[in-house]
Structure 1
Amino acid sequence: MPSARPLLPLRSRTAPADLGTQGDTLNDGMELAQSIMAAFVALLLLGFMVAAWTHRQSVHHVTEDILHKMIDLAPAEAGFLIFAATAAANVFCLPSIGLWLGAGVVFAHIYHPNVLEGALAGTLAVFLGLVVGSLTAFTLGRTLCQSCIARRLQHLEWVEVLNAIVATEGWKFVMLARMSPVLPLEAFSYACSFTNVTALGFAVGCFGSLPITFFWVWMGASAESLRMDDDPGSKKLGVHTTLLLIGISLVMFGIIARLSTRRYQEIMDRRIPSVAQQRLSASQEHLSVEATPIDEAFRQEVQRLRRSSNLRHWRGFLSPRRVSV
Protein backbone atom coordinates (compact mmCIF):
# COMPACT_ATOMS: atom_id res chain seq x y z
CA MET A 1 0.00 0.00 0.00
CA PRO A 2 1.27 3.50 -0.69
CA SER A 3 2.99 5.33 2.11
CA ALA A 4 3.54 8.78 0.65
CA ARG A 5 -0.07 9.93 0.94
CA PRO A 6 -3.05 9.31 3.20
CA LEU A 7 -5.07 6.23 2.35
CA LEU A 8 -8.39 7.99 2.92
CA PRO A 9 -9.66 11.33 1.64
CA LEU A 10 -10.21 14.33 3.88
CA ARG A 11 -13.66 15.19 5.09
CA SER A 12 -16.07 16.75 2.67
CA ARG A 13 -15.47 20.24 3.99
CA THR A 14 -11.95 20.15 2.57
CA ALA A 15 -13.05 18.87 -0.84
CA PRO A 16 -13.37 21.05 -3.95
CA ALA A 17 -16.51 23.15 -4.03
CA ASP A 18 -17.36 22.27 -7.65
CA LEU A 19 -18.29 18.63 -7.08
CA GLY A 20 -21.36 17.62 -9.05
CA THR A 21 -24.72 16.81 -7.57
CA GLN A 22 -24.54 13.25 -8.90
CA GLY A 23 -22.01 12.24 -6.26
CA ASP A 24 -24.09 13.88 -3.52
CA THR A 25 -27.19 12.05 -4.69
CA LEU A 26 -25.32 8.75 -4.70
CA ASN A 27 -23.94 9.37 -1.21
CA ASP A 28 -27.40 10.31 0.07
CA GLY A 29 -28.81 7.11 -1.39
CA MET A 30 -26.07 5.02 0.19
CA GLU A 31 -26.57 6.69 3.55
CA LEU A 32 -30.32 6.08 3.33
CA ALA A 33 -29.74 2.41 2.53
CA GLN A 34 -27.28 2.10 5.40
CA SER A 35 -29.73 3.82 7.75
CA ILE A 36 -32.48 1.40 6.72
CA MET A 37 -30.13 -1.54 7.26
CA ALA A 38 -29.08 -0.22 10.67
CA ALA A 39 -32.73 0.23 11.67
CA PHE A 40 -33.50 -3.31 10.51
CA VAL A 41 -30.60 -4.73 12.53
CA ALA A 42 -31.67 -2.70 15.58
CA LEU A 43 -35.24 -4.02 15.30
CA LEU A 44 -33.91 -7.55 14.86
CA LEU A 45 -31.77 -7.23 17.99
CA LEU A 46 -34.71 -5.75 19.88
CA GLY A 47 -36.83 -8.71 18.81
CA PHE A 48 -34.19 -11.13 20.07
CA MET A 49 -34.03 -9.27 23.40
CA VAL A 50 -37.81 -9.35 23.82
CA ALA A 51 -37.90 -13.05 22.92
CA ALA A 52 -35.05 -13.80 25.32
CA TRP A 53 -36.82 -11.94 28.14
CA THR A 54 -40.17 -13.58 27.41
CA HIS A 55 -38.59 -17.04 27.40
CA ARG A 56 -35.89 -16.27 29.97
CA GLN A 57 -36.42 -19.55 31.82
CA SER A 58 -35.83 -21.50 28.63
CA VAL A 59 -32.80 -19.35 27.80
CA HIS A 60 -31.43 -19.99 31.29
CA HIS A 61 -31.81 -23.74 30.86
CA VAL A 62 -30.20 -23.64 27.41
CA THR A 63 -27.28 -21.60 28.75
CA GLU A 64 -26.77 -24.04 31.61
CA ASP A 65 -26.95 -26.96 29.18
CA ILE A 66 -24.30 -25.40 26.92
CA LEU A 67 -22.08 -24.68 29.92
CA HIS A 68 -22.37 -28.25 31.19
CA LYS A 69 -21.55 -29.63 27.75
CA MET A 70 -18.50 -27.35 27.51
CA ILE A 71 -17.33 -28.48 30.94
CA ASP A 72 -17.63 -32.14 29.92
CA LEU A 73 -15.39 -31.59 26.90
CA ALA A 74 -11.67 -32.24 26.87
CA PRO A 75 -9.52 -29.13 27.42
CA ALA A 76 -8.40 -29.11 23.78
CA GLU A 77 -11.99 -29.35 22.48
CA ALA A 78 -13.27 -26.59 24.78
CA GLY A 79 -10.29 -24.45 23.89
CA PHE A 80 -10.93 -24.86 20.18
CA LEU A 81 -14.59 -23.84 20.52
CA ILE A 82 -13.67 -20.73 22.49
CA PHE A 83 -10.89 -19.96 20.02
CA ALA A 84 -13.28 -20.21 17.06
CA ALA A 85 -16.00 -18.14 18.75
CA THR A 86 -13.55 -15.38 19.68
CA ALA A 87 -12.11 -15.25 16.17
CA ALA A 88 -15.58 -15.06 14.61
CA ALA A 89 -16.65 -12.31 17.03
CA ASN A 90 -13.69 -10.16 16.01
CA VAL A 91 -14.30 -10.67 12.30
CA PHE A 92 -17.98 -9.69 12.60
CA CYS A 93 -17.28 -6.80 15.02
CA LEU A 94 -19.21 -8.39 17.89
CA PRO A 95 -18.20 -7.61 21.50
CA SER A 96 -16.23 -10.60 22.77
CA ILE A 97 -15.66 -9.76 26.43
CA GLY A 98 -18.43 -12.20 27.37
CA LEU A 99 -16.42 -14.97 25.72
CA TRP A 100 -13.36 -13.98 27.76
CA LEU A 101 -15.29 -14.25 31.02
CA GLY A 102 -16.99 -17.43 29.81
CA ALA A 103 -13.62 -18.99 29.03
CA GLY A 104 -12.58 -18.37 32.62
CA VAL A 105 -15.74 -20.04 33.90
CA VAL A 106 -15.36 -23.09 31.64
CA PHE A 107 -11.69 -23.69 32.33
CA ALA A 108 -12.15 -23.09 36.05
CA HIS A 109 -14.44 -26.13 36.01
CA ILE A 110 -12.17 -28.20 33.78
CA TYR A 111 -9.02 -27.54 35.83
CA HIS A 112 -10.67 -27.28 39.26
CA PRO A 113 -9.19 -26.74 41.83
CA ASN A 114 -6.16 -25.35 39.88
CA VAL A 115 -7.79 -22.03 39.04
CA LEU A 116 -4.57 -20.37 37.85
CA GLU A 117 -3.86 -23.22 35.44
CA GLY A 118 -7.41 -22.94 34.12
CA ALA A 119 -7.06 -19.18 33.68
CA LEU A 120 -3.83 -19.63 31.72
CA ALA A 121 -5.43 -22.25 29.46
CA GLY A 122 -8.45 -20.01 28.89
CA THR A 123 -6.22 -17.03 28.17
CA LEU A 124 -4.31 -19.03 25.56
CA ALA A 125 -7.52 -20.07 23.78
CA VAL A 126 -9.01 -16.56 23.85
CA PHE A 127 -5.79 -14.81 22.86
CA LEU A 128 -5.16 -17.10 19.89
CA GLY A 129 -8.72 -16.52 18.72
CA LEU A 130 -8.27 -12.79 19.21
CA VAL A 131 -5.08 -12.73 17.14
CA VAL A 132 -6.49 -14.88 14.33
CA GLY A 133 -9.74 -12.89 14.25
CA SER A 134 -7.90 -9.57 14.27
CA LEU A 135 -5.56 -10.66 11.47
CA THR A 136 -8.53 -11.93 9.46
CA ALA A 137 -10.35 -8.61 9.91
CA PHE A 138 -7.15 -6.76 9.02
CA THR A 139 -6.81 -8.79 5.81
CA LEU A 140 -10.48 -8.41 4.89
CA GLY A 141 -10.19 -4.66 5.40
CA ARG A 142 -7.47 -4.54 2.76
CA THR A 143 -9.13 -6.92 0.29
CA LEU A 144 -12.78 -7.97 0.11
CA CYS A 145 -14.26 -5.35 2.46
CA GLN A 146 -12.05 -2.45 1.40
CA SER A 147 -14.73 -0.35 -0.34
CA CYS A 148 -17.36 -1.06 2.33
CA ILE A 149 -15.11 -0.08 5.23
CA ALA A 150 -13.75 2.93 3.33
CA ARG A 151 -17.24 4.42 3.08
CA ARG A 152 -17.47 4.40 6.86
CA LEU A 153 -13.93 5.54 7.56
CA GLN A 154 -13.62 8.40 5.09
CA HIS A 155 -15.72 10.79 7.20
CA LEU A 156 -14.01 10.02 10.52
CA GLU A 157 -11.36 12.50 11.53
CA TRP A 158 -9.49 10.19 13.90
CA VAL A 159 -8.56 7.90 10.98
CA GLU A 160 -6.24 10.61 9.64
CA VAL A 161 -4.63 10.92 13.07
CA LEU A 162 -4.29 7.14 13.29
CA ASN A 163 -2.66 6.95 9.87
CA ALA A 164 -0.20 9.74 10.73
CA ILE A 165 0.77 8.07 14.01
CA VAL A 166 1.16 4.58 12.56
CA ALA A 167 3.34 6.00 9.77
CA THR A 168 5.93 6.97 12.39
CA GLU A 169 5.27 4.67 15.38
CA GLY A 170 4.33 1.49 13.49
CA TRP A 171 3.61 -1.64 15.51
CA LYS A 172 4.53 0.08 18.78
CA PHE A 173 1.43 2.25 18.63
CA VAL A 174 -0.74 -0.74 17.68
CA MET A 175 0.54 -2.59 20.75
CA LEU A 176 0.06 0.45 22.97
CA ALA A 177 -3.49 1.10 21.78
CA ARG A 178 -4.50 -2.54 22.27
CA MET A 179 -3.44 -2.32 25.92
CA SER A 180 -6.26 0.14 26.57
CA PRO A 181 -9.29 -1.41 28.31
CA VAL A 182 -11.70 0.95 26.49
CA LEU A 183 -10.44 0.31 22.95
CA PRO A 184 -12.96 -1.60 20.79
CA LEU A 185 -10.55 -4.18 19.34
CA GLU A 186 -13.07 -5.29 16.72
CA ALA A 187 -13.22 -1.82 15.15
CA PHE A 188 -9.50 -1.17 15.61
CA SER A 189 -8.50 -4.12 13.42
CA TYR A 190 -10.45 -2.81 10.43
CA ALA A 191 -9.23 0.75 11.03
CA CYS A 192 -5.59 -0.40 11.02
CA SER A 193 -6.11 -2.06 7.63
CA PHE A 194 -6.30 1.45 6.12
CA THR A 195 -2.99 2.56 7.58
CA ASN A 196 0.56 1.85 6.43
CA VAL A 197 1.28 -0.74 9.11
CA THR A 198 2.43 -4.10 7.72
CA ALA A 199 0.65 -7.36 8.47
CA LEU A 200 3.68 -8.50 10.49
CA GLY A 201 3.73 -5.25 12.45
CA PHE A 202 0.02 -5.57 13.17
CA ALA A 203 0.49 -9.18 14.32
CA VAL A 204 3.26 -8.11 16.71
CA GLY A 205 1.06 -5.28 17.98
CA CYS A 206 -1.68 -7.79 18.82
CA PHE A 207 0.40 -8.92 21.81
CA GLY A 208 -0.67 -5.71 23.50
CA SER A 209 -4.05 -7.39 24.10
CA LEU A 210 -2.50 -10.18 26.18
CA PRO A 211 -2.59 -8.43 29.61
CA ILE A 212 -6.20 -7.31 29.18
CA THR A 213 -7.21 -10.77 27.95
CA PHE A 214 -5.63 -12.50 30.94
CA PHE A 215 -7.29 -10.07 33.35
CA TRP A 216 -10.83 -10.78 32.15
CA VAL A 217 -10.30 -14.54 31.84
CA TRP A 218 -8.80 -14.59 35.32
CA MET A 219 -11.76 -12.63 36.71
CA GLY A 220 -14.18 -15.18 35.29
CA ALA A 221 -12.12 -18.15 36.48
CA SER A 222 -11.53 -16.83 39.99
CA ALA A 223 -15.18 -15.86 40.51
CA GLU A 224 -16.34 -19.31 39.40
CA SER A 225 -13.69 -20.97 41.57
CA LEU A 226 -14.95 -19.10 44.63
CA ARG A 227 -18.50 -20.19 43.84
CA MET A 228 -17.54 -23.85 43.41
CA ASP A 229 -15.27 -24.18 46.43
CA ASP A 230 -17.55 -25.61 49.14
CA ASP A 231 -14.99 -27.73 51.01
CA PRO A 232 -14.78 -26.37 54.61
CA GLY A 233 -11.25 -27.63 55.00
CA SER A 234 -9.84 -25.82 51.96
CA LYS A 235 -12.22 -22.91 51.57
CA LYS A 236 -10.36 -20.53 53.87
CA LEU A 237 -6.98 -20.90 52.18
CA GLY A 238 -8.52 -21.00 48.71
CA VAL A 239 -10.62 -17.90 49.24
CA HIS A 240 -7.77 -15.90 50.76
CA THR A 241 -5.34 -16.90 48.04
CA THR A 242 -7.83 -16.21 45.27
CA LEU A 243 -8.81 -12.83 46.70
CA LEU A 244 -5.15 -11.90 47.02
CA LEU A 245 -4.51 -12.78 43.40
CA ILE A 246 -7.62 -10.86 42.35
CA GLY A 247 -6.36 -7.81 44.23
CA ILE A 248 -2.94 -8.06 42.59
CA SER A 249 -4.59 -8.43 39.18
CA LEU A 250 -6.73 -5.34 39.76
CA VAL A 251 -3.67 -3.30 40.73
CA MET A 252 -1.70 -4.48 37.70
CA PHE A 253 -4.68 -3.87 35.45
CA GLY A 254 -5.02 -0.32 36.76
CA ILE A 255 -1.30 0.37 36.29
CA ILE A 256 -1.27 -0.94 32.71
CA ALA A 257 -4.44 0.97 31.81
CA ARG A 258 -3.11 4.21 33.29
CA LEU A 259 0.32 3.96 31.66
CA SER A 260 -1.07 3.01 28.25
CA THR A 261 -3.65 5.82 28.36
CA ARG A 262 -1.01 8.37 29.36
CA ARG A 263 1.36 7.24 26.63
CA TYR A 264 -1.47 7.27 24.08
CA GLN A 265 -2.32 10.85 25.01
CA GLU A 266 1.32 11.91 24.73
CA ILE A 267 1.52 10.52 21.19
CA MET A 268 -1.75 12.22 20.27
CA ASP A 269 -0.57 15.58 21.61
CA ARG A 270 2.61 15.25 19.55
CA ARG A 271 0.99 14.23 16.26
CA ILE A 272 -2.35 16.07 16.19
CA PRO A 273 -0.91 19.57 15.46
CA SER A 274 0.87 18.33 12.33
CA VAL A 275 -2.27 16.55 11.11
CA ALA A 276 -4.31 19.70 11.74
CA GLN A 277 -1.80 21.74 9.74
CA GLN A 278 -1.98 19.30 6.82
CA ARG A 279 -5.78 19.46 6.82
CA LEU A 280 -5.75 23.26 6.82
CA SER A 281 -3.22 23.36 4.00
CA ALA A 282 -5.36 21.01 1.90
CA SER A 283 -8.43 23.13 2.69
CA GLN A 284 -6.72 26.35 1.57
CA GLU A 285 -5.78 24.76 -1.74
CA HIS A 286 -9.45 24.05 -2.54
CA LEU A 287 -11.30 26.97 -0.97
CA SER A 288 -10.92 30.39 -2.52
CA VAL A 289 -12.05 32.28 0.61
CA GLU A 290 -10.95 31.51 4.14
CA ALA A 291 -13.89 31.38 6.52
CA THR A 292 -11.80 32.06 9.63
CA PRO A 293 -8.32 33.42 10.36
CA ILE A 294 -5.61 30.78 10.08
CA ASP A 295 -4.68 30.82 13.78
CA GLU A 296 -8.28 30.41 14.89
CA ALA A 297 -8.89 27.71 12.28
CA PHE A 298 -5.79 25.82 13.44
CA ARG A 299 -6.91 25.97 17.07
CA GLN A 300 -10.38 24.72 16.19
CA GLU A 301 -8.95 21.91 14.08
CA VAL A 302 -6.66 20.76 16.90
CA GLN A 303 -9.56 20.72 19.36
CA ARG A 304 -11.73 18.82 16.88
CA LEU A 305 -9.09 16.15 16.32
CA ARG A 306 -8.46 15.75 20.04
CA ARG A 307 -12.13 15.15 20.72
CA SER A 308 -12.54 12.73 17.83
CA SER A 309 -9.42 10.76 18.85
CA ASN A 310 -10.96 9.62 22.12
CA LEU A 311 -10.71 5.83 22.23
CA ARG A 312 -14.38 5.53 23.17
CA HIS A 313 -15.37 6.99 19.78
CA TRP A 314 -13.62 4.27 17.78
CA ARG A 315 -16.78 2.24 17.31
CA GLY A 316 -18.14 5.14 15.27
CA PHE A 317 -17.24 3.73 11.88
CA LEU A 318 -19.79 0.95 12.41
CA SER A 319 -22.53 3.58 12.42
CA PRO A 320 -24.02 4.76 9.10
CA ARG A 321 -24.11 8.33 10.42
CA ARG A 322 -21.33 10.78 9.77
CA VAL A 323 -19.43 11.56 12.92
CA SER A 324 -19.19 15.21 13.84
CA VAL A 325 -17.55 16.27 17.05
Structure 2
Amino acid sequence: MNKTVRTLLIVAVLAVAFFAIWKSGLIETVSDFDAFRAMIERAGFWGYFVYVLIFIAAAVFSLPASVITITGGVVFGPVLGALLALTGATVGAAAAFLVARYLARGFIVEKFGENAIFKKIEAGVEKNGKDFLILTRLVPVFPYNIQNYAYGVTNLNFGMYVIISAITMAPGAFIYAYMAGEIAVNGISTKLFIQLIIAGILLFGVSQIPKILAKKKGIDMSDIK
Protein backbone atom coordinates (compact mmCIF):
# COMPACT_ATOMS: atom_id res chain seq x y z
CA MET A 1 0.00 0.00 0.00
CA ASN A 2 1.25 3.47 -0.90
CA LYS A 3 2.74 5.21 2.17
CA THR A 4 0.61 8.33 1.70
CA VAL A 5 -2.57 6.29 1.34
CA ARG A 6 -1.67 4.28 4.45
CA THR A 7 -1.06 7.44 6.45
CA LEU A 8 -4.35 8.98 5.34
CA LEU A 9 -6.17 5.74 6.16
CA ILE A 10 -4.69 5.63 9.66
CA VAL A 11 -5.55 9.29 10.25
CA ALA A 12 -9.09 8.58 9.05
CA VAL A 13 -9.38 5.63 11.45
CA LEU A 14 -8.20 7.78 14.36
CA ALA A 15 -10.64 10.51 13.36
CA VAL A 16 -13.52 8.02 13.25
CA ALA A 17 -12.48 6.66 16.64
CA PHE A 18 -12.44 10.16 18.12
CA PHE A 19 -15.84 10.90 16.58
CA ALA A 20 -17.22 7.70 18.11
CA ILE A 21 -15.85 8.69 21.53
CA TRP A 22 -17.36 12.15 21.19
CA LYS A 23 -20.77 10.84 20.10
CA SER A 24 -20.81 8.29 22.94
CA GLY A 25 -20.64 11.11 25.49
CA LEU A 26 -17.40 9.78 26.98
CA ILE A 27 -15.72 13.20 26.82
CA GLU A 28 -18.47 14.71 28.97
CA THR A 29 -18.39 11.70 31.29
CA VAL A 30 -14.66 11.87 32.04
CA SER A 31 -15.07 15.58 32.75
CA ASP A 32 -17.75 14.89 35.37
CA PHE A 33 -16.49 13.18 38.55
CA ASP A 34 -19.84 11.76 39.64
CA ALA A 35 -20.73 10.45 36.18
CA PHE A 36 -17.32 8.89 35.60
CA ARG A 37 -17.25 7.31 39.05
CA ALA A 38 -20.70 5.81 38.51
CA MET A 39 -19.64 4.39 35.14
CA ILE A 40 -16.54 2.68 36.57
CA GLU A 41 -18.44 1.29 39.55
CA ARG A 42 -21.19 -0.11 37.31
CA ALA A 43 -18.54 -1.99 35.32
CA GLY A 44 -17.75 -4.14 38.36
CA PHE A 45 -14.70 -6.37 37.83
CA TRP A 46 -14.22 -4.95 34.34
CA GLY A 47 -13.93 -1.50 35.84
CA TYR A 48 -10.17 -1.96 36.21
CA PHE A 49 -9.76 -2.58 32.50
CA VAL A 50 -12.26 0.11 31.50
CA TYR A 51 -10.44 2.64 33.67
CA VAL A 52 -7.02 1.90 32.15
CA LEU A 53 -8.41 1.88 28.59
CA ILE A 54 -10.09 5.24 29.14
CA PHE A 55 -6.83 6.67 30.47
CA ILE A 56 -5.07 5.40 27.34
CA ALA A 57 -7.75 7.00 25.16
CA ALA A 58 -7.35 10.26 27.10
CA ALA A 59 -3.65 10.35 26.25
CA VAL A 60 -4.13 9.43 22.59
CA PHE A 61 -7.02 11.83 21.98
CA SER A 62 -5.97 14.58 24.41
CA LEU A 63 -8.97 14.23 26.72
CA PRO A 64 -8.95 15.78 30.23
CA ALA A 65 -7.16 13.44 32.66
CA SER A 66 -7.40 15.15 36.07
CA VAL A 67 -10.86 13.76 36.85
CA ILE A 68 -9.73 10.31 35.70
CA THR A 69 -6.79 10.31 38.13
CA ILE A 70 -8.87 11.54 41.07
CA THR A 71 -11.65 9.05 40.33
CA GLY A 72 -9.12 6.21 40.38
CA GLY A 73 -8.05 7.15 43.90
CA VAL A 74 -11.65 7.26 45.10
CA VAL A 75 -12.95 4.09 43.40
CA PHE A 76 -9.92 1.81 43.69
CA GLY A 77 -8.20 3.27 46.74
CA PRO A 78 -5.09 5.44 46.97
CA VAL A 79 -2.40 2.92 46.04
CA LEU A 80 -4.20 0.77 43.46
CA GLY A 81 -5.83 3.86 41.97
CA ALA A 82 -2.44 5.51 41.53
CA LEU A 83 -0.95 2.37 39.97
CA LEU A 84 -3.83 2.05 37.51
CA ALA A 85 -3.64 5.75 36.64
CA LEU A 86 0.12 5.55 36.09
CA THR A 87 -0.29 2.41 33.97
CA GLY A 88 -2.95 4.01 31.79
CA ALA A 89 -1.04 7.27 31.45
CA THR A 90 2.21 5.50 30.55
CA VAL A 91 0.64 3.16 27.99
CA GLY A 92 -1.34 6.07 26.54
CA ALA A 93 1.79 8.21 26.22
CA ALA A 94 3.59 5.29 24.55
CA ALA A 95 0.68 4.75 22.15
CA ALA A 96 0.60 8.41 21.11
CA PHE A 97 4.38 8.32 20.61
CA LEU A 98 4.13 5.24 18.37
CA VAL A 99 1.27 6.76 16.37
CA ALA A 100 3.44 9.82 15.70
CA ARG A 101 6.54 7.80 14.85
CA TYR A 102 5.21 4.95 12.76
CA LEU A 103 1.61 5.56 11.74
CA ALA A 104 1.01 9.25 11.15
CA ARG A 105 4.48 10.78 11.14
CA GLY A 106 4.15 12.36 7.69
CA PHE A 107 0.76 13.85 8.48
CA ILE A 108 1.90 15.23 11.86
CA VAL A 109 5.10 16.75 10.45
CA GLU A 110 3.20 18.30 7.55
CA LYS A 111 0.43 19.76 9.71
CA PHE A 112 2.30 20.64 12.90
CA GLY A 113 6.00 20.64 12.01
CA GLU A 114 6.12 24.44 12.07
CA ASN A 115 4.28 24.63 15.39
CA ALA A 116 6.41 26.48 17.97
CA ILE A 117 6.09 23.70 20.57
CA PHE A 118 7.06 20.99 18.09
CA LYS A 119 10.06 23.00 16.90
CA LYS A 120 11.30 23.67 20.44
CA ILE A 121 10.98 20.02 21.42
CA GLU A 122 12.77 18.87 18.26
CA ALA A 123 15.61 21.33 18.82
CA GLY A 124 15.78 20.50 22.53
CA VAL A 125 16.04 16.74 21.93
CA GLU A 126 18.66 17.26 19.22
CA LYS A 127 20.74 19.37 21.58
CA ASN A 128 20.17 17.69 24.96
CA GLY A 129 18.63 14.27 24.27
CA LYS A 130 16.77 12.53 27.11
CA ASP A 131 17.65 15.36 29.53
CA PHE A 132 15.31 17.64 27.62
CA LEU A 133 12.52 15.07 27.97
CA ILE A 134 13.04 14.95 31.74
CA LEU A 135 12.89 18.73 31.98
CA THR A 136 9.72 19.10 29.93
CA ARG A 137 7.99 16.28 31.82
CA LEU A 138 8.74 17.91 35.16
CA VAL A 139 8.27 21.53 34.11
CA PRO A 140 4.67 21.93 32.80
CA VAL A 141 5.52 24.43 30.08
CA PHE A 142 4.24 22.40 27.12
CA PRO A 143 0.82 20.66 27.13
CA TYR A 144 1.49 17.06 28.19
CA ASN A 145 -0.50 15.33 25.46
CA ILE A 146 1.09 17.44 22.73
CA GLN A 147 4.49 16.35 24.03
CA ASN A 148 3.58 12.70 23.42
CA TYR A 149 3.14 13.32 19.71
CA ALA A 150 5.98 15.81 19.40
CA TYR A 151 8.52 13.40 20.87
CA GLY A 152 7.33 10.71 18.48
CA VAL A 153 8.72 12.63 15.50
CA THR A 154 12.13 13.16 17.13
CA ASN A 155 14.99 10.65 17.21
CA LEU A 156 14.41 9.91 20.90
CA ASN A 157 14.67 6.22 21.85
CA PHE A 158 11.22 4.71 22.49
CA GLY A 159 12.26 2.63 25.50
CA MET A 160 13.96 5.60 27.16
CA TYR A 161 10.90 7.74 26.44
CA VAL A 162 8.56 5.25 28.16
CA ILE A 163 10.80 4.78 31.21
CA ILE A 164 11.34 8.50 31.76
CA SER A 165 7.65 9.28 31.18
CA ALA A 166 6.59 6.66 33.76
CA ILE A 167 9.08 7.89 36.37
CA THR A 168 8.26 11.58 35.91
CA MET A 169 4.49 10.96 35.95
CA ALA A 170 4.60 8.77 39.07
CA PRO A 171 4.80 11.53 41.77
CA GLY A 172 1.74 13.38 40.47
CA ALA A 173 -0.28 10.21 39.91
CA PHE A 174 0.37 8.90 43.41
CA ILE A 175 -0.15 12.20 45.20
CA TYR A 176 -3.44 13.07 43.46
CA ALA A 177 -4.84 9.54 43.69
CA TYR A 178 -3.74 9.15 47.30
CA MET A 179 -5.23 12.45 48.40
CA ALA A 180 -8.51 11.71 46.62
CA GLY A 181 -8.70 8.21 48.13
CA GLU A 182 -7.88 9.47 51.60
CA ILE A 183 -10.61 12.11 51.48
CA ALA A 184 -13.12 9.54 50.21
CA VAL A 185 -12.30 7.09 53.01
CA ASN A 186 -11.55 9.32 56.00
CA GLY A 187 -12.84 12.75 55.00
CA ILE A 188 -11.13 16.00 56.03
CA SER A 189 -8.96 15.38 59.09
CA THR A 190 -5.79 16.47 60.84
CA LYS A 191 -4.06 13.48 59.27
CA LEU A 192 -5.08 14.70 55.82
CA PHE A 193 -3.82 18.19 56.62
CA ILE A 194 -0.42 16.78 57.58
CA GLN A 195 -0.38 14.63 54.45
CA LEU A 196 -1.17 17.67 52.30
CA ILE A 197 1.81 19.49 53.81
CA ILE A 198 4.05 16.50 53.11
CA ALA A 199 2.68 16.25 49.56
CA GLY A 200 3.37 19.94 49.03
CA ILE A 201 6.95 19.50 50.21
CA LEU A 202 7.41 16.49 47.91
CA LEU A 203 6.00 18.36 44.90
CA PHE A 204 8.27 21.31 45.67
CA GLY A 205 11.23 18.94 45.82
CA VAL A 206 10.27 17.41 42.48
CA SER A 207 9.93 20.88 40.97
CA GLN A 208 13.56 21.60 41.88
CA ILE A 209 14.89 18.59 39.97
CA PRO A 210 14.74 20.34 36.55
CA LYS A 211 16.76 23.28 37.88
CA ILE A 212 19.40 20.98 39.35
CA LEU A 213 19.53 18.87 36.20
CA ALA A 214 19.72 21.91 33.94
CA LYS A 215 22.57 23.39 35.95
CA LYS A 216 24.46 20.08 35.99
CA LYS A 217 24.02 19.52 32.25
CA GLY A 218 24.54 23.14 31.29
CA ILE A 219 21.06 23.46 29.79
CA ASP A 220 19.54 26.92 29.39
CA MET A 221 16.07 26.73 30.97
CA SER A 222 14.92 29.49 28.63
CA ASP A 223 15.09 26.92 25.82
CA ILE A 224 11.91 25.29 27.08
CA LYS A 225 9.91 28.44 27.75
Q: Same fold (TM over 0.5)?
A: yes
Partner Cα distance (1:267, 1:152) in 2? 36
In structure 2, the residue matched to 1:81 is 50
Q: Deviations over 1:261-297 (max 9, x none)?
A: x35765998469xxxxxxxxxxxxxxxxxxxxxxxxx
Give 2:196's aligned amino acid. Answer: I
Task: Return closer, same or farther for 1:172/1:204 CA change in 2, 3 Å cut-off.
Answer: farther
**Equivalent residues of 1:175, 1:204 under 8 A apart:** no
**Equivalent residues of 2:82, 2:173 under 8 A apart:** yes
Task: Return closer, same or farther for 1:152/1:257 CA change in 2, 3 Å cut-off.
Answer: farther
**Equivalent residues of 1:93, 1:186 under 8 A apart:** yes
Q: Deviations over 1:18-64 (max 9, x none)?
A: xxxxxxxxxxxxxxxxxxxxxxx9xx99xx9xxx8xxxxxx9xx975
- 1:170-189 aligned at under 5 Å gives the runs 170-181=129-140, 183-189=142-148
In structure 1, the residue matched to 2:105 is 146
Which structure dedicates a bigger proportion of its chain to helix?
A: 2
**Equivalent residues of 1:179, 1:212 under 8 A apart:** no
Q: Among 95, 107, 114, which residue is 1:136 paired with?
A: 95
**Equivalent residues of 1:163, 1:195 under 8 A apart:** yes
1:149 deviates by 1.5
Partner Cα distance (1:129, 1:72) in 2? 20
SS at match of 1:143: helix
**Equivalent residues of 2:69, 2:85 under 8 A apart:** yes
In structure 1, the residue matched to 2:40 is 70
Q: Deviations over 1:207-248 (max 9, x none)?
A: 211111112212322232344x8xxxxxxxxx2222211221
Partner Cα distance (1:189, 1:86) in 2? 14
In structure 1, the residue matched to 2:13 is none
Partner Cα distance (1:182, 1:104) in 2? 26
Partner Cα distance (1:135, 1:240) in 2? 39
129-138 or 178-187, larger mean C-alpha shift: 178-187
Give 2:203's aligned amino acid. Answer: F
Q: Among 195, 207, 214, which residue is 1:245 paired with?
A: 195
In structure 2, the residue matched to 1:101 is 70
SS at match of 2:103: coil
> Structure 2: which 5+ residue stretches go unaligned?
1-18
* Number of aligned residues: 200
Q: Is 1:225 aligned to residue 185 of structure 2?
A: yes
TM-score, normalising length from structure 1? 0.52
Q: Is 1:256 aligned to residue 206 of structure 2?
A: yes
Q: Is 1:203 aligned to residue 162 of structure 2?
A: yes
Q: Percent identity?
A: 20
**Equivalent residues of 1:67, 1:106 under 8 A apart:** yes
Task: Return closer, same or farther for 1:162/1:267 CA change in 2, 3 Å cut-off.
Answer: farther
SS at match of 2:114: coil
Task: Return closer, same or farther for 1:89/1:68 CA change in 2, 3 Å cut-off.
Answer: closer
Give runs of ≥4 in structure 1 deviating > 4 Å.
62-66, 263-269
Q: Is 1:125 aligned to residue 84 of structure 2?
A: yes
1:84 deviates by 0.8
Q: Is 1:92 aligned to residue 61 of structure 2?
A: yes
Task: Return closer, same or farther for 1:64/1:167 CA change in 2, 3 Å cut-off.
Answer: closer
1:127 deviates by 0.8
Q: Deviations over 1:163-206 (max 9, x none)?
A: 23323533333233222355422111100012110111111211
Give 2:195's aligned amino acid. Answer: L
Task: Return closer, same or farther for 1:214/1:147 CA change in 2, 3 Å cut-off.
Answer: same
SS at match of 1:187: helix
Task: Return closer, same or farther for 1:215/1:63 CA change in 2, 3 Å cut-off.
Answer: closer
Give 1:103's aligned amino acid. Answer: G
TM-score, normalising length from structure 2? 0.73
- 1:264-275 aligned at under 5 Å gives the runs 270=219
